[in-house]
Structure 1
Amino acid sequence: MESNQKKIRLGIDAKWYFDGPPSGHMVVKNLVDQMVTRHDEFELCLFLCSKHKNLAKSHFPQGIELIFLPNVPNMIANMFVVPYFANAHKLDAVMLQNFLGPWSDKLFKVVYIHDVLFLDYPEYFTKNELKYFNFIRRYAIKANLVITISETEKKRMVQNYVARSAKISVVHHGIDEKFKPLCNCQAAIVQTVKEKYNLPDRYLLFVGRINIRKNLDNLIKALGMLIDSDVKLVVVGERTALNLKLEEMIAAEQLGGRVIFTGHVPEEDLYTVYANATVFCFPSYAEGFGLPPLEAMRCGVPVVVSDRTAMPEVCGDAALYANPDDAEDIARKIRVLLNDHSFYLKKADEGIAQSEKYSWKKSADDILNLISHGYDHSKSYR
Structure 2
Amino acid sequence: MHIAFNGWFWDQPHTGSGQYIRRLLHQLRRIAPDLQLTLVLPPHNASPDDVPKNVNLISTTGQKGKLGKVLFEQAIFPSMVGQCGADIAHVPYWAPPLASPAKLVTTVLDVIPLVMPEYATGFFNRLYTSLVSAATSGSAHIITISDTSKADIMAHLNIPSEKITTTYLGVDEVFHPRIGAEKDAAVKQKYDLPDQFVLYLGGFDVRKQVNQLLYAYTYVAQSEAIPLVLAGKQP
- TM-score interval for Structure 1 and Structure 2 normalised by the shorter chain: 0.7 to 0.9
- For structure 2, which runs of at least 5 residues remain unmatched after alignment? 227-235
Distance 1:133 1:191, change over 3 A: farther
Q: Which amino acid in 1 is paired with 2:199?
A: L
Distance 1:47 1:161, change over 3 A: same
Distance 1:152 1:332, change over 3 A: closer
TM-score by length of 1: 0.50
2:57 aligned partner: 66
* Distance in structure 2 (CA, Å) of the matches to 1:187 and 1:137: 44
2:117 aligned partner: 122
Query: Is the counterpart of residue 12 in structure 1 residue 5 in structure 2?
Result: yes
2:168 aligned partner: 172
1:334 aligned partner: 221
Aligned residues: 217
Contact 1:137 1:162 in 2 (8 A): no
* Distance in structure 2 (CA, Å) of the matches to 1:131 and 1:336: 49
Distance 1:134 1:338, change over 3 A: farther
2:39 aligned partner: 46
- State the Cα deviation string for residues 251-301 of structure 1 (Å, max 9, x = none): xxxxxxxxxxxxxxxxxxxxxxxxxxxxxxxx3xxxxxxxxxxxxxxxxxx
Q: Which consecutive aligned stretches of 4+ in structure 1 deviate over 4 angstroms post-superposition? A: none
Q: After TM superposition, give the deviation of residue 151 of structure 1 in Å.
A: 2.0
Distance 1:337 1:180, change over 3 A: farther
Contact 1:122 1:130 in 2 (8 A): no
2:200 aligned partner: 206
Within 5 Å, give how 1:268-307 maps onto structure 2.
283=212, 305=213
Query: Does the residue aligned with 2:33 lie in a helix, a strand or coil?
Result: coil
Query: Does the residue aligned with 1:69 lie in a helix, a strand or coil?
Result: coil
Query: Does the residue aligned with 2:12 lie in a helix, a strand or coil?
Result: coil
Query: Does the residue aligned with 1:114 lie in a helix, a strand or coil?
Result: coil
Q: Which amino acid in 1 is paired with 2:87?
A: D
Contact 2:146 2:168 in 1 (8 A): yes
Instruction: Return the structure number with greater helix share.
Output: 1
* Distance in structure 1 (CA, Å) of the matches to 2:179 and 2:97: 46
- State the Cα deviation string for residues 220-278 of structure 1 (Å, max 9, x = none): xxxxxxxxxxxxxxxxxxxxxxxxxxxxxxxxxxxxxxxxxxxxxxxxxxxxxxxxxxx
C-alpha RMSD of the superposition: 2.7
* Distance in structure 2 (CA, Å) of the matches to 1:187 and 1:152: 35
Q: After TM superposition, give the deviation of residue 194 of structure 1 in Å.
A: 3.8
2:135 aligned partner: 139
Identity %: 18
* Distance in structure 2 (CA, Å) of the matches to 1:331 and 1:53: 48
- For structure 1, which runs of at least 5 residues remain unmatched after alignment? 1-7, 219-282, 284-304, 306-323, 340-382
Q: Which has the higher contact order (CA 8 A, sep 6+)?
A: 1
